[in-house]
Amino acid sequence: MTDKVYYKVGRRPWEVKGHPDGHASRQRSRIPFTNRHWLKWRDVHNPKTLQRERVLVDKKPLWWSIGLSLLLVITPFLPNSLISVASIFCIYAAINILWTLIVGTAGIFSLATLAVVGMSGYIAAAANVYLGVPWPFMLLIGPAVGLAAGAILAAPSTRLDGLYYALLTMGVAEICRVFVSQLRALTPTGGAITQVDSFIPEDWFLQRPGLLLGFGGAFLLLLGALLVWRLVNSERLGMILRAAKTSREDEAFSEAVGIDFRRARLLVFLISSAALGVVGAFYAMYYRSISPTIFSLDQLLLLFAMMVIGGLGRAEGAVVGAAIVILIDKGLIELGPLRIILVAAIMLLVTIFAREGFTGSRDQFRDFRKRKAGERRAHRTEKGGEAMPEEATEILDKQELYYRRFNKRLRERLKLMVTPELIEEHRVNPLGHHSDALARILNYFRRGEMADKYVIMRLKNGEERFRIMAVSGIKGMPPRIVDDREYDALYDAYHAVFLLRINDLLES
């Protein structure tokens, strides 16, 4: 006899689960000064073995830390060109995350993100170059400018909506570009401010230590953007906005219950604008210069492509999309214009096939699988019992299910027995001894439920006038009259009831 092989069953046999001691009390550490736990562990009981199991419900923090630490560990070993690609990725991912906060969380379709970055970068750089402000203060000037720009941009956002606001913000970017390139003082450099002081020492610039230092700064910037995302999107502001997110009805509802979502939107917009200001100052420091290309439409479209490919409105989408697009755009430079076509093709395919970009494809696949499973289940049971599978789980008395299935099969068999001869036999002799088939059919009719059971009513005592009624089956509710036909003989009425029931049987 061979050894028995046991297969793991269930939906996720590969999942790693803890098996805590059932008697020990549970200890969980909290994030300092808050009520929150580090990871979302949940204790469940395995329904089969009844053992206590500990599962990690939300695995996103794991993936985030794996991905970010891989980036941090691998980058120092890369060649110089790839280090700068990694730094650019960090900067763009940070911008994308903050933009996602505006578009996804606040629901304001603003295209002025790069304009805010550019404005604060320009003003911070100008303060450094022309006023001699030391570079650490640039990181303060940047957010101040970003906040001011955000306040100006946010004013019309409550009045205009959707595309109109998008157009307006696009116009702002264009106005900035024209304004900067028309400035007299910047004409010799084509509108760029160069020689900006930076956290990277001047003789290290574009050398390996300088690049590594730049990457370190960009990585910190990305972490900061993620922190802002976490604090805004997952805390009170984000929750308020989630209530008023999807539709106008939701907005009306949240307004009615006293949620001031407009204020929350403005706050989110202002916070992310200030954060974008930090990114702008960092941008000017990282390149030691800033040029009007930051206001250009192409740059904006590239950024938009990143968000779309990754998934609009999700932080992980912003980061994954930035990684994909920057790898194609900066990593495959030898392809020339073909790489933009490649980005466009990816964007097209992702949008046609995915609901919410790459990162939403997992949920989409799950929905698809669930729908298919439901369809298959329905198909399997179509010819079976009376109860649909969805209904069957709700019926507590399982006996009822078998009774229905039995009844259905019985009806199928009885239907085959109904012939004109049988009806004629009943017409001739409604009572008394019958043939086997007729007896079976009549037996089935006798067992029928009270609801809609036919009964005969004598119209007046002592008179031979009958009518057919149907019992309601509900206590206190009178029977209804089936039709207005009258019968002069009781046997005719018997036969009429029989015909009605045969009709019902054949129709079922």
Min separation Cβ 103 and another protein, Å: 10
Min separation Cβ 338 and another protein, Å: 6
In angstroms, the CA 464 to CA 461 distance is 8
3-state helix, strand, coil in the chain (%, to 5): 65, 5, 30
Given phi > 0 = left and psi -120 to 50 = alpha, else beta, which region is 379? alpha
Q: Are 305 and 343 in contact (CB under 8 A)?
A: yes
175 binds another protein (CB under 8 A): yes
The HSE-up count of residue 135 (CA atoms within 13 Å, CB side) is: 17
Task: Identify the residue among 185, 220, 297, 459 touching another protein (CB under 8 A).
Answer: 297
Min separation Cβ 346 and another protein, Å: 8
5 binds another protein (CB under 8 A): no
In angstroms, the CA 339 to CA 334 distance is 9
**β pairing state of 52-56 and 41-45:** antiparallel
Binders in 177-196 for another protein, by CB under 8 A: 178-179, 182
- Residue whose CB is less far from another protein, 336 or 432: 336
- Residue whose CB is less far from another protein, 333 or 348: 348
168 binds another protein (CB under 8 A): yes
79 Cα distance to chain centroid: 39
Which segments within 387-463 are labelled E, that is strand?
454-458
470 binds another protein (CB under 8 A): no
**Applying CB under 8 A, which part among 70-78, 285-293, 351-359, 383-391 lies near another protein?**
351-359
The kind and range of the H/E element at 481 are: strand 480-481
- Residue whose CB is less far from another protein, 66 or 338: 338
Residues pairing with 55 in the sheet: 42
In angstroms, the CA 301 to CA 289 distance is 22
**Applying CB under 8 A, which part among 20-28, 134-142, 252-260, 303-311 lies near another protein?**
303-311
Min separation Cβ 173 and another protein, Å: 10
- Residue whose CB is less far from another protein, 56 or 340: 340
Q: Are 294 and 205 in contact (CB under 8 A)?
A: no
The HSE-up count of residue 174 (CA atoms within 13 Å, CB side) is: 7
- Residue whose CB is less far from another protein, 360 or 385: 360
- Residue whose CB is less far from another protein, 162 or 201: 162
Task: Identify the residue among 22, 61, 136, 156 touching another protein (CB under 8 A).
Answer: 156
Give CA angle at 190 (184, 193), nearest 5°: 80
Please compute Rg for the chain using Cα positions.
Answer: 37
Q: How far is CA 276 from CA 268, 272, 316, 438, in A?
A: 12, 6, 18, 86
What is the token pair recorded at 412?
Answer: 């199928």
Min separation Cβ 284 and another protein, Å: 24
**Applying CB under 8 A, which part among 67-75, 170-178, 410-418, 487-495 lies near another protein?**
170-178
- Residue whose CB is less far from another protein, 32 or 337: 337
Task: Identify the residue among 56, 133, 301, 456 touching another protein (CB under 8 A).
Answer: 301
Binders in 327-346 for another protein, by CB under 8 A: 336-338, 340-341, 343-345
The kind and range of the H/E element at 505 are: helix 490-507
347 binds another protein (CB under 8 A): yes
305 binds another protein (CB under 8 A): yes
- Residue whose CB is less far from another protein, 156 or 201: 156
**Applying CB under 8 A, which part among 163-171, 206-214, 396-404, 487-495 lies near another protein?**
163-171
Q: Are 259 and 237 in contact (CB under 8 A)?
A: no
Per-residue 3-state assignment (H helix, E strand, C coil) for 246-271: CCHHHHHHHHHCCCCHHHHHHHHHHH
Binders in 352-391 for another protein, by CB under 8 A: 352, 355
Tell me, by CB under 8 A, how many residues bind another protein.
34
Q: Which of 142, 154, 124 is nearest to 224 (CA)?
A: 142
**Applying CB under 8 A, which part among 45-53, 161-169, 401-409, 470-478 lies near another protein?**
161-169
Binding residues (CB under 8 A) for another protein: these are: 156, 159-161, 163-164, 167-168, 171-172, 174-175, 178-179, 182, 297, 301, 304-305, 308, 312, 336-338, 340-341, 343-345, 347-348, 351-352, 355
